[in-house]
Structure 1
Amino acid sequence: MEADSLQVVIAALVAGLLAGYGIAMPVGAVATYLVALTARTSLKIGAFAALGVATADGLYALIAALGGSALTPVIQPIMLPLRWCSALVLIALAVRGAIVAIRQHRGHQTSTRTDETPVSPARAYLGLLGITMMNPTTVIYFAALVLGSQATAAPDHLEQAVFVLAAFAASASWQLLLAGGGALLGRALTGSRGRLVTAMASSTVITALAVHLLLTAL
């Protein structure tokens, strides 16, 4: 009996890790913004922002594990508004990032980070948490995985907890890796022109991904 329980927990752990990496690894607009944010601020700010993204993934995994088949009909009617809101927020962030970069470049202020509008760890965490929570695809993704795993038997609370924590840990590790890459990028591109090019490229990518999200919602 104990061996069977251990196998169930291990299976839930593996499933949670795979689910967390599966939803986190595709580099989209949020990941691009996370890297750019860390590059122009600090690793500390990027780490809190990364944990905000991972928290959203963990919350959606928890909702999926507890809600099961009841999730899809609830989320389906509001998927379109959520996609529009998410895309518009991302476009606003892209435009703001480009404007700030241009202003700093013109004022020759990009060589220091203290000239930028301060971003607190709490603000970075809550901002990325909110943006990620606007993505209804995440909860549908986790719901599909949970429903598939429940085909034979309903999971107990321990199995659900292991799945959710593993999904959170996987997402957090990947987002922190992205933040670390952003910190290295920020150190490498310390010049005025380098930061301007990086910011404009990031804003362009974020805008393109947001537009694609809007087109898929039509």
Structure 2
Amino acid sequence: MNESMEAGMEQYLTAGAAGAVAGLGVAVPLGAVGVLVLQQAMRDRRAGAAAGAAVAVVDAGYAALATAVGPLVAAALAGVEAWVRLVAALVLAVIAALGLLASRRPAPAGTTGTAGTETAAPARVFVRFAALTFVNPTTALYFAALTTAQGDTLRGGAAGAVFTFGVFAASLLWQQTLVVAGGFAGPRLPDRARVWTFRAGYGLVAGYAVTVALPLPAL
């Protein structure tokens, strides 16, 4: 009985550690979303915390889905991956265009936050960043490939839940680290410099959209 309990505990610890590594693996590379989390924290730390939480929630959601149906999803998308990437790229391009346009508008009188951008409510920021992370095909494919490689070890059951929690905890910790860094740097940057960092961030989103879209699907 004790050996069985020890084996089960070891399995859960392994699954949790694997989830933490997976969460850091998808979060630490500072791509477009990470840059935008930093920028949101520079504008408003509370909204930045909401943005980071949204990214972690979606990461965990993809991990949970992948542990359950990752191999089935990969098989279902076989042959149409290019079209899925193209749709995601179009969504990212729209987000980038809206962000760049918003950065050109003067801030309304009496608002706080960065020049050229009005401070947003944390709930709205959460929804926006959840959507931005959700349409990132790299995250979905990352977890699908990872959980498929793990075989039956993580698929379903308690081990899958522990793995998903590890992903969430690691991703949330990293995103909130970015929020602290952005909140520290934001008040110390001149308004003009902050405006250009926001434009650079949305420019990175636009560039990422092009990267996601290529190669284009064959007609």
Q: What TM-score, normalized to structure 2?
A: 0.84
Q: Which residue, out of 92, 95, 119, partners 2:97?
A: 95
Q: In the superposition, relative to structure 1, how do residues 118 and 85 fare at CA in structure 2: closer, same or farther (>3 Å)?
A: farther
Structure 1 position 63 matched with structure 2 position 69: no
Structure 1 position 5 matched with structure 2 position 4: no
Gaps of 5+ in 2: none
Q: In the superposition, relative to structure 1, how do residues 88 and 39 fare at CA in structure 2: closer, same or farther (>3 Å)?
A: farther
SS at match of 2:113: coil
Cα-Cα RMSD: 2.7
Q: In the superposition, relative to structure 1, how do residues 73 and 38 fare at CA in structure 2: closer, same or farther (>3 Å)?
A: same
Instruction: Name the counterpart of 1:126.
Output: 127
Could you tell me whether the CA contact under 8 Å between 1:51 and 1:172 is conserved in 2?
A: yes
Gaps of 5+ in 1: none
Segment drifting more, 204-213 vs 170-179 = 204-213
Instruction: Name the counterpart of 2:179.
Output: 179
Q: In the superposition, relative to structure 1, how do residues 215 and 119 fare at CA in structure 2: closer, same or farther (>3 Å)?
A: same
Instruction: Name the counterpart of 2:199.
Output: 200
Map Cα deviations across residues 97-117 of structure 1 (whole Å, 9 max, x no partner).
Answer: 333333328x9x799429844
Percent sequence identity over matched residues? 31
Could you tell me whether the CA contact under 8 Å between 1:97 and 1:203 is conserved in 2?
A: yes
Could you tell me whether the CA contact under 8 Å between 1:53 and 1:129 is conserved in 2?
A: yes
- Provide runs of 4+ in structure 1 moved above 6 Å: none
Q: In the superposition, relative to structure 1, how do residues 43 and 85 fare at CA in structure 2: closer, same or farther (>3 Å)?
A: farther
CA deviation after TM superposition for structure 1 residue 52, in Å: 0.9
CA deviation after TM superposition for structure 1 residue 16, in Å: 0.6
CA deviation after TM superposition for structure 1 residue 137, in Å: 2.7
Q: In the superposition, relative to structure 1, how do residues 76 and 51 fare at CA in structure 2: closer, same or farther (>3 Å)?
A: farther
CA distance in 1, matches of 2:71, 2:203: 38
Kindly provide the amino acid, as one letter, of the partner of residue 136 in structure 2.
N
Could you tell me whether the CA contact under 8 Å between 1:29 and 1:210 is conserved in 2?
A: no
Q: In the superposition, relative to structure 1, how do residues 129 and 112 fare at CA in structure 2: closer, same or farther (>3 Å)?
A: closer
Q: In the superposition, relative to structure 1, how do residues 35 and 217 fare at CA in structure 2: closer, same or farther (>3 Å)?
A: farther
Instruction: Name the counterpart of 1:113.
Output: 113
Q: Which residue, out of 21, 25, 28, partners 2:24?
A: 21
Q: What TM-score, normalized to structure 1?
A: 0.84
CA deviation after TM superposition for structure 1 residue 38, in Å: 2.1
